[in-house]
Structure 1
Amino acid sequence: MKSIYLLRSSGQKRRLVSSKNLLRRAALLCCLLLGTYVLTSCSAPGSQSQPITGKLRVTGSTALLPLAQEAGKLFEQQYPGTKIEVSGGGSGHGLDAVTAQQAEIGNSDIYANPAIYPDPNLTDHIVCVTPFEMITNPGITVPSLTQQQIIDIFSTGKINNWSQLGGPDLKITPIVRPSNSGTRATFRKYILGGRDEKGTLLTTDSSTTVRDTVAKTPGAIGYVAASYVTNAIHTVEIDNQKGTVSTISSGKYNFWSYEHMYTLGSDDATLEAFLQFMLGSDVQQKAQEMGYVPINSIQTPGVASVSP
């Protein structure tokens, strides 16, 4: 049996459940349930499959938070006996919560490092792709920055005034996310080349807080998931590129991540149903509308299929 691993990480591999495998599992589950019903209907006429009811706790990545919230509402509408509690806190919080069994699903922008999260039952369900965007205070209208310019703003400190970039004579104020942020880890790895950040450090990992802080701070610059972009801030391209299906697939735009939903298995019927629901057409369409990239739309060289 083949498993799929995503190699867009720092060398770590973790088995995940792809959308194709989820569909296969769903088909197998249906067959098993049908077979069970046929075998037991005569002796146990009242038997039925496990109902889709109860509460699921979903927490972690603030980049995935808006979509997870919308998906939770749609799922509750389809299954009135369910309650999907969704919260943020950052990717590190999500991974800690699911491995400590304080949540059924831990959302993360990054892969769970097996050295930190060694539980063999920890299973990765990739549900979409998030493009991230550089944002500035609306008083700064620089259209694009090179990757090196971003490094010199956030890391080396060589660029500290917007006048150096054709903007106003105004101090640059980088807004830095806390260390438990998966978005920060992605930014540090793929934009800063592993360098540390310097700037105004936020104490909580909240994409809304980043956006609002940038919006109200003259000269500020930060980064958020595309789903958080509003007219309150100005977006800045990276090397004259925006995060689209085409630029991500071609490798021209590197500031993006897969969105992971981690579980300790998915034997619970409600949990299994919700994970499948995340990959369904309703949620994937909603993802596209909100600025995410549907998982089946993306083709990158970072995905490989191997046999264990």
Structure 2
Amino acid sequence: MRKKTAIISIAAMSLLLLAGCGKSSSSSDDSSKISGKITIVGSTALQPLVEQAAETYQADNSGLTIGVQGGGSGTGLSQVSTGAVTVGNSDIFAEQKDGVDAKKIVDHKVAVVGIAPVVNKDTKVTNLSKAQLANIFLGKTTNWKELGGADQAIVVINRASGSGTRTVFDSSILPNKTAKQTQEQDSNGTVQKMVSSTPGAISYLAFSYLKDNIQALSIDNVKPTSKNVETNNWKIWSYEHMYTKGSPNYATAKFIGYIQSDKIQNGLIKKLGYISISDMKVEKDAKGTIEEINK
């Protein structure tokens, strides 16, 4: 165990530097002075949070336009690295993405997201062991009756290879193994709809997409809850990153700072099913090493 040191976000540092370069405190705090365009692409797991935060933030900053799109973590990291977008949203560290130079982009962690396996409710299954779950995605188990459920073929819906959600899921459930070839979808939203309407379907979703019309599975009798993520009892989770190419400009720094603020961390983040970083009892690095936080 070790002491957790205070970390000033890059967004906050950028604001301090700008304040020291001639901006008075009154002009820095005047939201009407913020203008420009911010383009954000990437993680569909993070997309609902950023979209809603952008909507409320733009309402107070009429001169600012914020465009938010999905596309997956791989797309977000690749596009922000080339400067094609202002911000690349990602469920994974840049170091985990092949072809991306993590040293050239700056990480701003804004939340934590849990990821849960989900099934169509007609399967009649609510809990699986980790080994049983792995065997489904490896193609070794093909009918729910083998797992105590309905006599129904298992329909695996995987995520696309560029998905950060898939990277997080595979590293936890299928380490050093390759899932069987099956249909793939790019979006958490699309997967949610398909699982709810497809008999025998199974996939996995960010907590923010869990709805009453699908069944989230426990693993080894551990439920997929925020409290279990905070202590790493639920092991399928990741940080939500907003990457910029170098230090963010003034408008971008202000928006990222807004998402990192207590107002959003204690409000919108929890409302949408994300977890505030300040609530975590553990932390994780790009290699997946877990370390307890002594607060």
Interval containing the TM-score (normalised by the shorter chain): 0.7 to 0.9
Q: Which residue of 2 aligns with 1:231?
A: 212
TM-score, length basis structure 1: 0.83
Distance 1:147 1:262 in 2: 32
Q: Which residue of 2 aligns with 1:146?
A: 129
Q: Sort the Cα spacing of 1:258 and 1:85 in 2 relative to 1 into closer, same or farther, 3 A.
A: same
Report deviation, 1:239. 1.6
* Alignment of 1:28 onto 2:16: yes
What is the 5 A alignment of 1:106-255?
A: 106-113=88-95, 116-118=99-101, 120-155=103-138, 157-198=139-180, 200-202=182-184, 204-255=185-236
Letter of the structure 2 residue corresponding to residue 144 of structure 1 = N
RMSD of equivalent CA atoms: 2.7
Letter of the structure 1 residue corresponding to residue 94 of structure 2 = A
Give 3-state SS (helix, strand or coil) of 1:107's partner: strand
* Alignment of 1:69 onto 2:51: yes
Report deviation, 1:229. 1.3
Report deviation, 1:136. 0.7
Letter of the structure 2 residue corresponding to residue 297 of structure 1 = D
Report deviation, 1:77. 1.4
Q: Sort the Cα spacing of 1:233 and 1:199 in 2 relative to 1 into closer, same or farther, 3 A.
A: farther
- Please tell me whether the aligned partners of residues 92 and 182 of structure 1 are also in contact (alpha carbons under 8 angstroms): yes
Distance 1:288 1:112 in 2: 25
- Please tell me whether the aligned partners of residues 117 and 204 of structure 2 are also in contact (alpha carbons under 8 angstroms): yes
- Please tell me whether the aligned partners of residues 11 and 254 of structure 2 are also in contact (alpha carbons under 8 angstroms): no
Distance 1:112 1:256 in 2: 16
Runs of 4+ that moved beyond 6 A? none
Moved more, 236-245 or 161-170: 236-245
- Please tell me whether the aligned partners of residues 140 and 234 of structure 1 are also in contact (alpha carbons under 8 angstroms): no
Letter of the structure 1 residue corresponding to residue 107 of structure 2 = D
Distance 2:238 2:124 in 1: 26
Q: Sort the Cα spacing of 1:168 and 1:243 in 2 relative to 1 into closer, same or farther, 3 A.
A: closer
Letter of the structure 2 residue corresponding to residue 20 of structure 1 = I
Distance 1:281 1:104 in 2: 24
Give 3-state SS (helix, strand or coil) of 2:162's partner: coil
Distance 2:24 2:195 in 1: 58
Instruction: Give deviations 1:74-120, integer Å, cap 9, x for gaps.
Output: 11012111111000000000011111211100001111128622263
Q: Which residue of 1 aligns with 2:66?
A: 84
Instruction: Give deviations 1:124-170, integer Å, cap 9, x for gaps.
Output: 11100001111111212311111111111001x23211001111111
Instruction: Give deviations 1:226-259, integer Å, cap 9, x for gaps.
Output: 1111122111111212233432233221111111
Give 3-state SS (helix, strand or coil) of 2:278's partner: helix
- Please tell me whether the aligned partners of residues 18 and 250 of structure 2 are also in contact (alpha carbons under 8 angstroms): no
Letter of the structure 1 residue corresponding to residue 196 of structure 2 = A
Moved more, 241-250 or 181-190: 241-250
Distance 1:60 1:215 in 2: 24
Distance 2:98 2:41 in 1: 22
Letter of the structure 1 residue corresponding to residue 137 of structure 2 = F
Instruction: Give deviations 1:170-227, integer Å, cap 9, x for gaps.
Output: 111111111010101111101112321125322x411111111111111010001011
- Please tell me whether the aligned partners of residues 248 and 300 of structure 1 are also in contact (alpha carbons under 8 angstroms): no
Is the radius of gyration larger for structure 1 or structure 2?
A: 1
Give 3-state SS (helix, strand or coil) of 2:103's partner: coil
Q: Which residue of 2 aligns with 1:12?
A: none
TM-score, length basis structure 2: 0.86
% identical aligned pairs: 35
Structure 2, unmatched stretches of 5+, are 286-290
Give 3-state SS (helix, strand or coil) of 1:96's partner: helix
